[in-house]
Chains A and B, each alone.
Chain A
Amino acid sequence: MPLFSFVLRRILQMIPTVVFILVVTFVLVRLLPGDPASAMLGDRAIDADVERINASLGLDKPIPIQFLYFVKNVFTGDLGTSIALKLPVTTIIMQRLPVTLMLTLMAALLALILAVPLAFLAALKREQTADAVIRGTFQVGLSMPVFYVGILMLTVFGATLKWFPVGGYGDTFGDRLYHLFLPALTLAFSFSAVLMRNLRSSVIGVINAEYVDFARAKGLRPRTIMIRHVLRNALISTVTLFGLQIGTLFGGAVITETVFAVPGAGRLMIDSIYGRDYPVLQGLTIALAVLVSLTFLATDIFQAWLDPRIAR
C-alpha cells in the first residue's frame, strides 16, 4: 500500500508545522502590550484581582511552562474566553466558521464554473482575439482589490438593481445561498483569474501530448477527447493550485465578510481586532492555519490518488 504509507508520512510531516503554528500564535499574544487580566477587568482593576486572574491563567509560571499549558489547552479544545462576548472562544468559532466555509466553498465552485470553460476557449483559440480578450479581462480582475469588487457588486446588483440583498445572512439554507451569492461571486472573481491562467497553460501543455494525438488517431469524438483526456490531466495541476490558494481565499473572506456584513469567521476576526479581543484573534488564527494545513494534506492525498507516481 504505497498510498497508505504516503499518507502516514505526510501526516507525520504535519507535526512540525502544527508546532510552528502554536509557537507563532503563542509569541504573537505574548508581544501584546498589557496583560490579559487588565484587559478583562478594565481600567479600575485592583492589583490583587489582577494577580489572582494571572495566577488562574497560569501567567505567573515561567514562559516554557506557560507554553506547555497553552498547548495542552489547545489540544483539549480550550482556546480561552472571549473578552468582549464572555463566551468560550471555541464556541464562538464553531458558530462563525461554518458561514465562512460555506462562503469559500461557494466561491470556489463559482470560480471553477467561470474559469474552466473560459480557460478551454482561450487555450483552443490561442493567440487569437478570443484568447486576448479573455486574458486581458482576467488580468484586470487580478489587479482589482477584493473590497473594491465587493463594493461595486454591492452597489450595482444590491443597492441599484436590487437583485440580491446588500448584506447579512439568511435563516434557511436557500435564503443563506441567496445572501451569500454576491459575496461568493466577489471572492470568486480574482480566484477565477488565478485558476484560469493556470488552467489555460496546462491545457495548452496537455493538448500537444502524445496520448491526445493517439486518442484523436483512434477516432474519438473531439468532445470525448476534451473531457476524458485533456480536462482530466489538465486539472491535476489546478488541484494543487486550488489547495495552495485556500489561504488566499480565507484572507479574501475576511475582507468580503466585512464589506457584506456576513457574520462569519472573517468578520469576527476584524471585530476582535477593533475590540482588542485577543483570545478570539489567537483562536481564529490557529483554527484557520490548521484548516489550511488540513487542506494541503487533502490536496496531496488527492494528487497522489490521481497520479500514483507521486506517492512513491
Chain B
Amino acid sequence: MSMAIEKMGTYARFRQLALPRTLICGMVIIGVSLLIAFFPALFAPYDPIAFDYKALLKGPTLAHPFGTDSFGRDVLSRVIHAYTIDMQIAVFATVGPFIFGTIVGAYVGYAGGLAEATFGRVVDAVITFPFLVLVIAIVSVLGPGLANMYIAVGIVGWVFYARLVAAEVKVQKRLDYADAGRVMGYTPMRIVFRHLLPNAITPAIVYWMTDMALAILLGSSLGYLGLGAQPPAAEWGVQIADGKNFMSTAWWISVFPGIAIVITGLGFSLLGDGLAQLMRVRR
C-alpha cells in the first residue's frame, strides 16, 4: 500500500489519501472562528460593552444564553466579540516571528560555520529565560497593551522557527538537487529561497499552527493579569478575570470564555496535527 503510494505523482497521491480527519475538524473550527472574528456583529445578540443595570449577574436564560456579568453585559455577545481580538492575537503574535525566523533559519542553515555557532548561542540564551517571565518583564517595561505584547513575543518567538528551518535547510542543502542548482550557477539566494526553502518550511508551518494556540493562551493569560487587552474590551482572559470573584455565585461569566479558549486552541492543534499527518512531518 505505502509502496504503491510512493510511486504516484503528488496530485494523485493527494487524491488517493483522504484528508486526515483531524485536519478537517481543525479547518472547520478555525474557519468558523475566523468567520465570527471578522463579522462578530452578525452573531452577537447585544452590544458587548453596553451596561444594563436591570440585568446584573443573571444566569443563562433564553434572552441571555450565557448569562450577564456584574455590569449587566451579555456574556455571549462578549465571547463572540472577543473572537476578533483573540484571533487577531493568534495571527499577529506569530506571523512576524514566522517570517523573520524562517529567513534567519534559512540563512543560518545554508551558511553554517560561524553564523550557525553564533545562532546556537543565541538560542541557548533565549531559551534560558522562562518565556512567560520574559514576555511579562518586557510588557511591563514597555507598558500594558496588545501592541507591546506583540513586540515582546516577537523578540523571543522567532528563535523557535529559525531553529526548525535551519535544521531542515541543513539537510536539504546536501541533497543532489541543491548541487544541481549550484552547477547551474544559481546564486545562493535563489537556491535557498526558490529551491531549498519550499522543501524545508513544512515543520515551521506545522509549528506555526501550534504556536497560534499558544499565542491565544499567552494573550489571554496577559489579559487575565491586566497586561494584555485592556478593559472594557471583550477578550477571553479579561472576561475570566472579570468573573473570578463571582465564581461561586455567577460561574457563567468566567466559564464560557474559557470554553471558547479551549475550543479555539483545540482547533489550531488539530490543524497542526492534521497538517503534520498530511505532509508526513515527524513531530
Query: Contact mask A132-150 → B, CB, 8 Å, 1/0?
Result: 0000000110111111100
Question: Across the interface, do B261 and A16 meet the contact criterion of CB distance under 8 Å?
Answer: no
Q: Which of B137, B213, B258, B263 has the most CB of A within 10 A?
A: B137
Q: Cα distance A255–B137 when bound, in Å?
A: 14
CB-defined contacts of B217 to chain A, threshold 8 Å: 143, 145
Query: Contact mask A247-280 → B, CB, 8 Å, 1/0?
Result: 1101110110011000000000110011000000
Q: Cα distance A5–B55 when bound, in Å?
A: 71
CB-defined contacts of A147 to chain B, threshold 8 Å: 220-221, 224, 237, 240
A34 to chain B, nearest CB (A): 12
Q: For chain B, give the interface size range.
A: 35 or more
A218 to chain B, nearest CB (A): 32
Residues of A within 8 Å of B, CB-based: how many?
48
Q: Cα distance A292–B263 when bound, in Å?
A: 32
Question: Across the interface, do A145 and B121 meet the contact criterion of CB distance under 8 Å?
Answer: no
Given contacts A140-B266, A248-B130, contact A32 B141 (CB under 8 A): yes
Given contacts A31-B141, A148-B258, A160-B248, contact A292 B128 (CB under 8 A): yes
Asked if B6 is at the interface (CB within 8 A of a chain A CB), the reply is no
Asked if B125 is at the interface (CB within 8 A of a chain A CB), the reply is yes
Given contacts A142-B265, A147-B224, contact A16 B137 (CB under 8 A): no
Given contacts A147-B240, A159-B248, A281-B140, contact A255 B221 (CB under 8 A): yes
Helix, strand, loop or mixed for chain B's interface? helix
Cβ-closest chain A residue relative to B138: A28
Question: Across the interface, do B265 and A143 meet the contact criterion of CB distance under 8 Å?
Answer: yes
Question: Across the interface, do B132 and A296 meet the contact criterion of CB distance under 8 Å?
Answer: no
Question: Across the interface, do B125 and A269 meet the contact criterion of CB distance under 8 Å?
Answer: no
Query: Contact mask B244-263 → A, CB, 8 Å, 1/0?
Result: 10011001001100100111
Query: Contact mask A144-186 → B, CB, 8 Å, 1/0?
Result: 1111100110110001100000000000000000000000000
Q: Cα distance A16–B261 when bound, in Å?
A: 39
CB-defined contacts of A154 to chain B, threshold 8 Å: 247
Question: Across the interface, do B247 and A151 meet the contact criterion of CB distance under 8 Å?
Answer: yes
Question: Across the interface, do A145 and B258 meet the contact criterion of CB distance under 8 Å?
Answer: yes
**A contact set with B: CB distance below 8 Å:** 13, 16-17, 20-21, 24, 28-29, 31-32, 139-140, 142-148, 151-152, 154-155, 159-160, 244, 246-248, 250-252, 254-255, 258-259, 269-270, 273-274, 281, 284-285, 288-289, 292-293, 296
**B contact set with A: CB distance below 8 Å:** 121-122, 124-125, 127-134, 136-138, 140-142, 213, 217, 220-221, 224-227, 237, 240, 244, 247-248, 251, 254-255, 258, 261-266, 269
